[in-house]
Structure 1
Amino acid sequence: MSEAKKAAPGSAEIAARIERRRDQLAATLDEIAVRVHPSTLVDDARARAASVVDRTAGKAFVAVNRSVTDVRGRLVTAEGSPRLERVVPLALVVVGVAGLLVLSSRRRRR
């Protein structure tokens, strides 16, 4: 019988357990309140959007940098001088397209 009395918790121990559980629940409720607060939700959404924009901008920068490097490699020699056999025809094409655009815009105005 003395073992049964030792195994059963006393009222002070039960009260202490209840108090600890109450403190844990209060902390959990406080954490939930912070998580579902509108400003927290807005801040989280803003951070996710900024992350997506940063990631997309980074990918775009890499793609543009790769393209510019590729075009530069085609138009400039390793020493840095222009490859005239490629630059002159490209310049003529650009001037021709610009001229066609100017002519077509003048025709539309009339």
Structure 2
Amino acid sequence: MRREELRVTLEEIGARVHPTTIAEDAKARVAATLDHTAGRAFVAVNRAVTGVRAQIVSAEGAPRLDRLVPAALLTVGVVGLLVLSTRRRRR
């Protein structure tokens, strides 16, 4: 009886310290951490997108031109400045 318990205990210890078991446990911990981090990132991005969407689309789903037009003009201006600075550097 004692020997059988000792044998089972030693087999369990052997399985726990086996390199394959240690590697698989490490992989599982990394995967769990990545899943948790990816989930948190998804929630953060989703909140940000919802916030931006609320700023540019009305509750009825129509675009809010009072906010879109200035943003579009700013974007065109920035892109124009980037293009001009790139052309000047090449000369």
TM-score scaled by length of structure 2:
0.93
CA displacement, residues 31-56 of structure 1 (integer Å, 9 cap, x when unaligned) = 01111111111100001001111111
CA displacement, residues 45-95 of structure 1 (integer Å, 9 cap, x when unaligned) = 001001111111100100000000000001000110000000000111111
Q: Which has the higher contact order (CA 8 A, sep 6+)?
A: 2
Work out whether 1:98 is the aligned partner of 2:79. yes
The more displaced of 45-54 and 90-99 is 90-99
Q: CA deviation at 1:108?
A: 2.9
Query: In 1, distance between residues paired with 2:62 and 2:84?
Result: 34
Larger radius of gyration: 1
Percent identity at matched positions?
64
Q: CA deviation at 1:96?
A: 1.3
| Residue in structure 2 matched with residue 15 of structure 1 by the alignment | none
Aligned residues: 91
| Residue in structure 2 matched with residue 60 of structure 1 by the alignment | 41
| Residue in structure 2 matched with residue 89 of structure 1 by the alignment | 70
Work out whether 1:26 is the aligned partner of 2:7. yes
Work out whether 1:75 is the aligned partner of 2:56. yes
| Residue in structure 2 matched with residue 38 of structure 1 by the alignment | 19
The CA RMSD over aligned residues, in Å, is: 1.0
| Gapped regions of structure 1 (runs ≥ 5) | 1-19
